[in-house]
Structure 1
Amino acid sequence: MATQALPLEKRGSGTAIHIKSAKEFCSYMPPRPGQDISQTENNAQPFCTNTNLAHGSKKFPGGFIKSAHFKKTSNYVQVTGRIDRSKYRLSSRDGGGQYDQKDLPHGTCNGWRYFVNLIEPDADVFCIRCCKESKDCNTGISSRGCERIVPGSYN
């Protein structure tokens, strides 16, 4: 009996997502509108500005991304910015949560194993950083929020 393997970019939880610029990037989000971030940390859905950036991704809802700022170094690549939570019916009472390789173990970001991705509906901010090494993606302080974990522009 022959079996078919799933494509490499989609085995188990997580998928291969990409960040190329402030106009071409992905972020994990709840699979359905209105779900709390923290309750979907192990079954998140990739959303992208262009669905070609991740297998099985959805396009960000129109108007959801209000601003995006790109930064690239030899050790990491990131996008930080603002969202309009109402465009995906996220709650203003949702303090957010963190998506990372611990909850989505088969996910990669720009081909790297390490990533940290927060959505904070109560503050209308988001951030994602893909890292070559775990030390550049601090996943242990999610309660401190985007601005502490992924320093960058949030205007």
Structure 2
Amino acid sequence: MRPHMKIVLAAVLMALITNLAMVAAAPTKHTVKSKTTTTPTKTTPTKKGQTAVILSKTDFCIFLPPKYGGNIAKSEDSAIAYCTKPNLPGAPDAQVLPDGFIVSSHYTVNTQKNYVQITGRINSSKYDLSSGDGGGQYDLRAPVGSKMNGYNSYVQLTEPNIQVFCIRACMNKADCPVNKSTYGCEKVLGGDYS
């Protein structure tokens, strides 16, 4: 056999071996008939106290750091619901706000845009929030798994440094602006802070 024929034959043989190796390594398909059942899952929060509610000027919840004295912004992923009264309907496992934490609250209902909001003043010392804490925003994305009972969206800002808070629950997500977290309550939601 001539030398160039040996090279061609070796190349063909290598190609065959490579193809056989690829075929052997390829996954095989098996057809198995089975019955698939789907179990519905509930869309419930993953931890306790992640559902808030706004019922009236005196019956509502806001989100706060899970530990007394926590920082608002640093707790954006872990905050939990605290309500003005124990066992508010629609806020399972929520905690109760400390006495005197809410100094004033103003309830607004917008029937045209279908949202409700509470704005007002807080005494941050009642939860040992730092007067130097510039605050932060809570919404559907953070705390993770949080929601506002009866509404599709919500936005809350808490500003311990100036002793104000605001929360709005909306049917239409566009009415709960979540892209202005550094603007503060008065610019984001307006309202009465007396």
Please confirm whether the aligned pair reaches a TM-score higher than 0.5, indicating the same fold: yes
Q: What's the counterpart of residue 73 of structure 1? A: 110
Higher helix share: 2
Q: What's the counterpart of residue 34 of structure 1? A: 69
Q: Does 1:109 align with 2:126?
A: no
Question: Structure 2 counterpart of 1:103, which letter?
Answer: A
CA 139–128 in structure 1, closer or farther in 2 if over 3 Å, else same? same
Please give the residue correspondences for 1:1-155 in structure 2 after superposition, counting only pairs within 5 Å. Answer: 9-11=44-46, 15-53=50-88, 54-74=91-111, 75-155=114-194
Alpha-carbon offset, residue 6 of structure 1: 9.3
CA 13–61 in structure 1, closer or farther in 2 if over 3 Å, else same? closer
Runs of 4 or more consecutive aligned structure 1 residues displaced over 6 Å after TM superposition = none
Question: Structure 2 counterpart of 1:96, which letter?
Answer: G
Alpha-carbon offset, residue 11 of structure 1: 3.1
Alpha-carbon offset, residue 15 of structure 1: 2.5
Indicate the larger mover: 6-15 or 74-83. 6-15
Q: Per-residue CA shift, 1:122-154, capped at 9, x if unaligned?
A: 000001000011110000001000111111100
Indicate the larger mover: 22-31 or 97-106. 97-106
DSSP 3-state at the match of 1:51: coil
CA 21–29 in structure 1, closer or farther in 2 if over 3 Å, else same? same
Q: What's the counterpart of residue 28 of structure 2? A: none
Q: Which runs of 5+ in 1 are unaligned?
A: none
Structure 2 distance, partners of 1:140, 1:14, is 25
Higher strand share: 1
Q: Which runs of 5+ in 2 are unaligned?
A: 1-39
Higher relative contact order (CA 8 A, sep 6+): 1
Question: Structure 1 counterpart of 2:72, which letter?
Answer: I
Larger Rg: 2
Alpha-carbon offset, residue 98 of structure 1: 0.4
DSSP 3-state at the match of 1:62: coil
Structure 1 distance, partners of 2:135, 2:146, is 20
Indicate the larger mover: 115-124 or 12-21. 12-21
Q: Per-residue CA shift, 1:29-56, capped at 9, x if unaligned?
A: 0111111100000110100012322111
Structure 1 distance, partners of 2:94, 2:168, is 18
Q: Per-residue CA shift, 1:44-81, capped at 9, x if unaligned?
A: 01000123221111111011000000011232100000
